[in-house]
Chain A
Amino acid sequence: MVKVRKVAAALAALAAAATTLAACGGSDGGSDPNVLRLWHYEGPDSAMGVAWNQAIKEFERTHPGVKVKFEEKGFEQIQKTAPMVLNSKDAPDLMEYNKGNATAGLLSRQGLLTDLTPEVTKRGWDKLVPAGVQVTAKYDAKGTMGGDKWFGVPNYAEYVQVYYNKDLFEKHGVKVPATFAELVSAMDQFVAKGVTPLTNAGAEYMAQQFVYQLALTRADRAWVDSYQRYTAKVNFKDPAWTYGATTFADWVKKGYIAKTSVGAKAEDAGVAFMQGKYPMMFSGSWWFGRVAAEAEFEWDTFVWPDSKMTLGSGGNLWVVPQGSKNKQLAYDFIDITMKKQIQNALGNAGGIPVAADSGAITNPQAKKLIANFNQLAGSDGLAYYPDWPVAGFYDTWVSEVQKLMNGSATPDEVLGNLQKAYDEGLPK
């Protein structure tokens, strides 16, 4: 018996030692007051990446002795692990994060993000960010966007538009559409000539954005708010949703969208457009810089015709985790990204700045991009994105729209499934 006790004691001691060792394994996060730990997921060549790199240099210049410890993360990486990271001692001081109820809203509700409201008013950021862009930065106690407290700061904006290949339009003698009827007519002409007019990615966001945009042509602000901000009960069988789903399914049947794009990813679709295989791509301003750099044909853009509402919003947010050790440094960094010089750099690199000098944007295509956005934001036309309202809705959308494309479910069934997932996911 004595021996058994000794063995048990040895086991317990080893277990305790293992636990202690495990506890020693993690770092204590960013407790150094002279280090700003910063995470973002913008590629170094993107407009935001260019601007944030410039901001890091400016920050280190204006904060002698303080280093920015930047860690480049992937969008998916932050998206999937943010709640756990922010709930641990490894949280950074400042982080870029996705906006919307299911992301920044959820984290704010869980108390993982710092309420930035006093800082926003003190530093005047609320005067710089347009009202339409502010919606995704402010959340209420339930984590619903458009609330009363700032939990993030967007320094840029984005929206979805049609990129078109001028050379292909000219080659096939098709007029660039200015109305929805002309858009349909243009697509018919391309199909008649054996050309699929729209590039698409069924395995990622592009396909669902078509359905949402088509629904938006029959929608208004109240409809968007009820869907995105739960201001009223949402009925997925209403005329707008029904029109969106049935028209999209019809477009696949008519050949406006390739049936073979069900399994395609956004990257495949974007590359195919940039290779000149499709006359049009309906996607976000986040493609702008890349199309400008890679497309070897004449191209231009237009906003979706005959629709008051279009997909768009403020850009991703700078959020300050509740566990940040150097909040003042984080606020200082955000302040620098709001300065004219950084905002102008962002605009000239193909982004949509929120506080740039209009005269300092010299690239004509960038000027048009920004002007179109300003017009949308000014007319209260930003409708956000279809996957925002509830957690996990993105995957539901992908799955349901794939069914719509390959005909394994009717528009009515798809809308029913979306309704079920939406209702189950609403915050309780």
Chain B
Amino acid sequence: MTRPADVTATSSPGTAPDRPAPAAGPVKTGGAARPRREIPYALFLVPGGLLLLAVIIVPFVMNAAISLTEWPGVGDPKFVGLDNYTELAGDAEFWASFRHNIAVTLAMAVIPTFIGLVLAAGLFDYIGKRFGPRTAAFLRACIYLPQVLPIAVAGIVWSWILAPEDGALNALLGGAGLESLQQDWLGDPGRALYSVMGVMVWVQIGFPLVIFMSGLQRVDPALHEAAEIDGASWWRRFWHVTIPQIRPEIFVSLLWCTIASLKAFAFIYVLTKGGPGGATSVPSYYSFENFFDNTRVGYGAAVATVLALIIIALTVVFLRRQSKGEEG
């Protein structure tokens, strides 16, 4: 694959900033032209840079600074050094919330990516070819619909569906004669996390599906035709042709969804508020609890800082793996 930098270097020789100045020729002209081009390029970065500074970097630095204090939110913060982080290291509730986040990552990234991949291939290869692209697009839109709904609305509707009494799911099970399967879906500590995960999967599937369907459109059909002529089954073509071809999309989906899963807050807030008995608490909700309910702003900031650092580290790892994959 051709990298964008190579394209620039090839198409505009001598203009890339990292290229040495020509050894011969009119030095005066070349030397005068180059800075004029560099400054406009730098100016293009100014709006984004300012936004990054105002929305990401300054709040992050402020948050990190607050995490070194004991502060109820008003008045003067008291500097306590790394005490909040020391406490965090031994805080069982914090670590439990991280364990729950692994399940949330499964529900918001891994499972939807897998299901989205299979569904996208099915819609593209089977529904699209047999029933036409309009049918495939309609089904894609239906599956994407939960992504458009505000999470608070979806959460409230699901809390009605999963309610122990009068909930639609239990009523459905009762109506089908399956009373033994009726549960307190959000109130039972053994099931609450799985119930929340189920809702998350439902919401998330649409995102990877849309990405993969657009990715599939750029796969050269000749590859599939050649594999088909060689006698490869659908599954072998999917595994050996489709997946390698849309690997960049898979990386993007996993990265995006994993970051979203680490920040997952609204689902937990609306559905369970971290309960029952902390069974569904995640770090973002734990941070919120400390910020607003316990008025331990410094401690909440420490949780948020750790979370942000983990997200940054994961992003770097994903992106490096992605670029390695592309280079390979």
Contact = CB atoms under 8 A, between A and B. Distances in A.
Interface of A: 3, 6-7, 10-11, 14-15, 18, 22, 80-81, 83-84, 86-87, 106, 110-112, 202-203, 258-264, 268, 272, 277, 391-392, 394-395, 398-400, 402-403, 405-406, 408-409, 425
A6 B274 CA distance: 52
Contacts of B38: 3
A110 B184 contact: no
Contacts of A203: 186-187, 272-273, 275-276
Contacts of A402: 187, 189, 275-277
Nearest to B38: A3
B50 interface: yes
A406 B50 contact: no
7 contacts: A7-B42, A81-B292, A261-B164, A264-B187, A395-B273, A403-B276, A409-B277
Interface in B10-58: 35, 38-39, 42-43, 46, 49-50, 53-54
Interface centre among B186, B192, B272, B277 (most CB of A within 10 A): B277
A77 B39 CA distance: 47
Given A395-B273, A402-B275, 5 more contacts: A112-B74, A272-B166, A394-B293, A395-B274, A395-B293
A110 B293 CA distance: 16
Interface of B: 35, 38-39, 42-43, 46, 49-50, 53-54, 72-75, 163-166, 184-189, 192, 272-278, 289-290, 292-296
A299 to B, nearest CB: 20
B278 A399 contact: yes
Contacts of A399: 274-278
B188 A262 contact: yes
Contacts of A403: 189, 276-277
B278 to A, nearest CB: 5
Contact of B50 (A15, A81, A263, A409): A15
B97 to A, nearest CB: 12
Contact of A10 (B43, B74, B278): B43
Given A10-B46, A268-B163, A15 B53 contact: yes
Contacts of A84: 73-74
A99 B74 CA distance: 19
B165 A272 contact: yes
A34 B273 CA distance: 42
Nearest to A84: B73
Interface centre among B39, B54, B276, B290 (most CB of A within 10 A): B276
Given A83-B72, A263-B164, A406 B277 contact: yes
Nearest to A7: B42
A14 B42 CA distance: 14
Nearest to A81: B292
Nearest to A22: B54
Top 8 closest A-B pairs, CB basis? Answer: A263-B187, A392-B294, A262-B187, A260-B164, A402-B276, A403-B277, A263-B186, A260-B184
B292 A3 contact: no
Contacts of B188: 262-263, 406
B152 to A, nearest CB: 12
A6 B43 CA distance: 11
A214 B315 CA distance: 52
A262 B43 contact: no
A87 B74 contact: yes
Contacts of A272: 165-166
B277 A391 contact: no
A201 to B, nearest CB: 10
Contacts of A262: 184, 187-188, 276
Contacts of B74: 83-84, 86-87, 110, 112
B269 to A, nearest CB: 10
Contacts of B290: 392
A84 B46 CA distance: 32
B276 A391 contact: no
Contacts of B277: 399-400, 402-403, 406, 408-409
A22 B55 CA distance: 12
Nearest to A390: B294
Contacts of B39: 3, 6-7
Contacts of B293: 80, 391-392, 394-395
Nearest to B292: A80
Contact of B49 (A11, A110, A409, A425): A11
Contacts of A81: 292
A406 B42 contact: no
Given A203-B272, A203-B273, A3 B35 contact: yes
A18 B54 contact: yes
B274 A261 contact: no
Contacts of A22: 54
Contact of B187 (A112, A202, A395, A400): A202
